[in-house]
Amino acid sequence: MRVAIVGGGLAGFVAYTTLLHGGMEPEDVTVFDASGRDPAAVWRRRAEAIRQQRMRSESDGHCLPTSFPGLAVRAARRRVSPLPIVQSLCNRYHPTVAEFLEHVAEVQARTGWETRVVARRIERVTAVEDGFVLEGAERTFRHVLLALGHPGLNVPAELEADPRSVHAYEPHEYAADVAVVGAGMAAATEWLNALAAGARVTSVRRREPLRRPLNVPRALFSRRGLADYHTSGAGARTELLEHLLEPSFPSGQTWDGPLEDATRLGRFSVASQVDGEEQVICATGFKRGFAQDRLLGRLVDEHRLETHDRWLVLSPDCTVPALTDADRTLSIAGAAAQWAYPAADTLVGAKYAARGFLSRITACRTR
């Protein structure tokens, strides 16, 4: 079976481990990624840039193909303590970044990942009768999963040429007077980082952030919640996805205590626009929509694929309906798969897309 994964980040890595768990051999799968063989490399750089210490995800935010055992069980074994499992049952377990990266390295070594990665950038995918031609590859692949990651960092147009500005996910230190643009998880992390560095911080935001533990409500991770989502109309689905993109960060004294103290001391304030601050940190996330990605934009234009607003319309299993049939599969994983799975930009979402991809391949093998 000629199987290719385009993208060697965490979503592609999860797809690879899922395929192996489903019975495929490592040599059955080719992974294309021009940036190297470390699936956590991009994620690590961004986490280091914002000094992230803990994951927002919970115990099942890992790269193994099955949800159980999760990182909480792993931590309980290592610490010889049931506390991580108890915290997980209460949705209060959040592994450290170090624990997560150690887990990635272990799975990477165990699965032979590095031997399957081809250092090549794929910029065009073309559907043919017996599968897909990947521009720059040497052969046609019958089954392809696109795990392309985010199309780039988002910087407000008015700040692109501002010499004071840096994106939160790029390496940076902190000036004495800092404006942080944005109000989501990265912004909240940067508020605390800059305050800890001794800066005066202005939170520049257009609306108040939502306070929720995860990017996506837990109901949408459940089978029932997802079934309701899949039966909703295009308008309702778009409205929900737009709502989920609104800035949010968890509630609790970890965040509120330092901000309240800094506000009382005149070191933290909220404003609607950047003023004369010495440094501007853009905690504004990523560019959004299929059109922002060169490969996806070409795919949509050249094959006249169905879209709705900024989203590529997908089947519930994350496949592209017009280019998937009994003999070939084109699947999408990661942020671009939100039409099928609202939490696509999570490790749980990566597993969801990978399982759909494996199911299609398995059905083809049994014909």
Distance CA 314, CA 221 (A): 18
- Give the domain ranges of the chain: 3-152+287-365, 157-209+247-282
Asked if pLDDT for residue 59 goes beyond 60, the answer is no
The CATH number of 157-209+247-282, from 3.50.50.60, 3.90.226.10, 1.10.1060.10, 3.20.20.70, is 3.50.50.60
Question: Model's pTM, two decimal places?
Answer: 0.92
Whether the bond into 69 is cis, omega within 30 of 0:
yes
Q: Which CATH number fits domain 3-152+287-365: 2.60.120.10, 3.50.50.60, 3.80.10.10, 3.40.50.2300?
A: 3.50.50.60
pLDDT value at 365 more than 80: no
Residue 36's pLDDT band (boundaries 50, 70, 90)? Answer: confident
**Contact yes or no for 153/170 (Cβ under 8 A):** yes
Same topology for domains 3-152+287-365 and 157-209+247-282, yes or no? yes
Which percentage of the chain shows pLDDT scores above 70? Answer: 93
Q: Could you give the percent of the chain with pLDDT greater than 90?
A: 78
Contact 184, 249 (CB under 8 A): yes
pLDDT tens by residue, 123-175: 999 999 889 999 988 789 999 999 999 999 999 999 999 999 999 999 999 99
